Amino acid sequence: MKHILLPTDFSENSTNAMNYAMELFKGETCHFYILNVQKSSEYITDDLLAADTNGTIYSAIAKDNKKQLKSLLNTYKKKYPQPNYHWHSLFDYDNFVDAVNQVVSTKKIDLIVMGTNGATGAQETLFGSNTLRVVRGVNCPVLIIPEGYTFGTLSSILFSTSNCKELKQEAVKVLKYFTKTHKALLHILTIHQDSNEAEQGYDYYLKEVLENMDYKKYTIEGIPLPFAVESFEQLIPVEMHVMFAPKETFLDRFLFGSDTSRISYRSNVPLLFLHKN
């Protein structure tokens, strides 16, 4: 990992995600980009009153946020005086996902680390609206840190999938990096809703993509994916869960449940979403 994006709204959850990232990459050479995004709908009366009559509302807001970014940067430089950590602050006045996409493209971001910030509705109390928008709308691996979660070790990683043919070298690059760097034991959990979904060549696909890696493989049939994952994590403790970012409708069902089944997933460990392309 070389270039890590850390979106922040200066909330406790976003700074907690930054703390996790600092510990996760300790000893590695990294460029950290701390991004704050402001949109016009977030302006309040105090912001309007604070604007200089010779300037613009944008200038007033930008000045305040850039000041907070500079303070945050200085705090982390002192807290983590790693010679191989390089810091950059970014401020944008834009749609949140558009701003993140722009930074991912221009700075060649390898990974986005976010907290469970910005929850605005009942269905978004797990991750928050901004986090979900990034998972859905940005083609970059996203590591979501649960509220209050602190880094200890990364010795055991769960990768759940419903189709081993999804595995591609480029798509699992981040997974392989964490497994190798932290010498973590990798658990591959393949979940089929029924026996007819079972794949031919299961071992072939795993060995082809996860070459030279040690892992344990498991298969579960006939159990809804959220229940299967939660049951697995209770039996075999892990410190990160990895999965491909599914289609939006499936993501909603997986995270929040449906009106009929009320199945939902509440991750207690960092959740890494990968993308197929």
For residue 247, what are its two tokens?
A: 């289609």
Q: What is the pLDDT of residue 106?
A: 95
More confident residue, 53 or 88: 88
CB 104 within 8 A of CB 96: no
Residue 120 above 70 pLDDT?
no
Q: What is the pLDDT of residue 165?
A: 64
The rounded distance, in Å, linking the Cα atoms of 271 and 2 is 20
Residue type, 127: F
Q: What is the pLDDT of residue 198?
A: 52
pLDDT tens for 189-247 read 887 765 554 555 566 667 777 777 888 888 887 777 777 788 888 889 999 999 887 65
Q: What is the pLDDT of residue 133?
A: 82
Q: Provide the whole-model pTM.
A: 0.83
The rounded distance, in Å, linking the Cα atoms of 166 and 151 is 29
Report for 26-35, 45-54, 247-256: range of highest mean pLDDT: 26-35
pLDDT tens for 168-205 read 777 788 999 999 999 999 998 887 765 554 555 566 66
- pLDDT mean over 117-121: 44
Please state the φ and ψ torsions of residue 92, each to the nearest 5 degrees: -140, 150
Mean pLDDT, the chain, whole residue set: 79
pLDDT tens for 131-160 read 888 888 899 999 999 888 999 999 999 998
**Which neighbouring-strand residues pair with 218?**
189
